[in-house]
A and B are shown apart, each in its own frame.
Chain A
Amino acid sequence: MDIMDTIKQQIEQNAIILFMKGSPSAPQCGFSMKASQALMACGKRFAYVDVLSNPEIRQNLPVYANWPTFPQLWVNGELVGGCDIIMDMSEKGELKTLVDTIDDSANG
């Protein structure tokens, strides 16, 4: 499958997906750590992709997303933003409000 199709499929099939460096339990970058912690604090299941172990995604997602850096949070097929936006929303309670709109049955 074409890498752009793979990316599209990941974003479409996971209502909440975080593209990050490392994993939520072993993040490899401070920005990815803060983003994944804020998301975990919302108590909702989410998918993640470690872009350090998926170099093709690391290279191509910025083009697909028109967003050059990681982490990237996508909800319902839409780019929410990177670490700064996620942290800002988390502090205002907006992150939990957003992910709480996701029905778990639609959240692969």
Chain B
Amino acid sequence: MSSMQANIEQKLQSLAPTFLSVINESGNHSVPPNSETHFKVTMVSDQFEGLAAVRRHQQVYAVLAEPLANGVHALALHTYTPLEWGLRQESSPASPDCLGGSKQA
């Protein structure tokens, strides 16, 4: 497991996940091999109960401020309560393909 992936997983423990998946999707994007720039996070927590998605994502972003300031460029976020996760039959959507925009950045 990459160091950034472990860092993200460790930091997200503070939101008390009952399920957590952090996948490095950097290989799908226009970045050098073995990059740690694009991640997909799927997370289930009781703490998301009663919160709109935008607030859930802001909580995750706040916890991950340090990685986001230090090289993490994209974070696909899928945040569910245990009930929502069950209704989705425990699956999260796929991330979109890259279009190469960061080459201009």
Taking Cβ atoms with an 8 Å cutoff, the residues of A that contact B are 21-22, 27-34, 52, 66-69, 79-85, 87-88
Closest A-B pairs by Cβ, 8 of them:
A28-B101, A30-B96, A29-B101, A81-B54, A21-B101, A85-B53, A34-B96, A30-B97
* Stretch from B2-10, B11-19, B71-79 forming part of the interface with A: B71-79
Contact with A along B50-79 (1 / 0, CB 8 A): 000110011001100100100001111110
Q: In the complex, A79→B102 CA distance in Å?
A: 24
Task: Verify A79–B54 contact, CB threshold 8 A.
Answer: yes
Chain B residues closer than 8 Å to A33, beta-carbon distance: 96, 99
Residue of A nearest to B54 (CB): A81
A106 to chain B, nearest CB (A): 22
Task: Verify B57–A27 contact, CB threshold 8 A.
Answer: no
Query: How many positions in chain B have a CB within 8 Å of any CB in the partner chain?
Result: 25
Residue of B nearest to A82 (CB): B57
- Interface residues of B, dominant DSSP: mixed
Selected contact of A28 from candidates B58, B95, B99, CB within 8 Å: B99
Task: Verify B61–A67 contact, CB threshold 8 A.
Answer: yes
Residue of B nearest to A85 (CB): B53
Task: Verify B93–A28 contact, CB threshold 8 A.
Answer: no
Q: In the complex, A72→B68 CA distance in Å?
A: 16
* Interface: B98 (CB within 8 A): yes
* Interface: B105 (CB within 8 A): yes
Q: In the complex, A81→B101 CA distance in Å?
A: 20
Task: Verify B93–A84 contact, CB threshold 8 A.
Answer: yes
